[in-house]
Amino acid sequence: MIIIILLICIGVVAFAHYGFMGNHLVTQSDPIIGTWRSSVPTQNYMATMNFNNNGSCTLTSYSAQSSLSQSVSGYWKNVGNYQYNLTLYNPSTNQYGNGIIIYDPHQEVIYPQNSPESVYSRE
């Protein structure tokens, strides 16, 4: 009986520390969670990526030249080795886009795998 109670307690503590998104596990302390900002001053462009602990995310881009902003939302998944699969939905085009985001723990930055010059720093 004591073993069963102990296993239940361990399960409750584990569930409190981890959340589930789809069919994968998202830790509450994943390093990508939070808000990240990128800016290209020469092009008057800025973007913000927000990663939530439930696996959802939002990308908002701003252009000073056109005074417009656009937001797309989606979800992310930690696929290991500091890589994250990112799926975003653009409502204006009704299309989904996929990509890989790399987290560099030494520089504390993230960047798209196919565009390493687009660096995002933690806000």
Residue pLDDT, tens place only, 99-113: 999 999 999 999 999
Return the pLDDT at 5: 32
Task: Give alpha helix (H) positions in 1-123.
Answer: 2-17
Cα–Cα distance measured from residue 62 to residue 69, given in angstroms and rounded to the nearest whole number: 4
Question: Could you tell me what percent of the chain has a pLDDT over 90?
Answer: 56
Tell me yes or no: is domain 30-122 CATH 2.40.440.10.
Answer: no
Question: Domains of the chain: which residue ranges?
Answer: 30-122
For the stretch 69-118, pLDDT in tens is 889 999 999 999 999 999 999 988 899 999 999 999 999 999 999 999 88
Tell me the whole-structure pTM to 2 decimals: 0.73
Rounded percentage of the chain residues whose pLDDT exceeds 70: 75
DSSP summary character for residue 55: S
3-state secondary structure of 23: coil
C-alpha distances in angstroms, 94 versus 50, 59, 76?
21, 16, 19
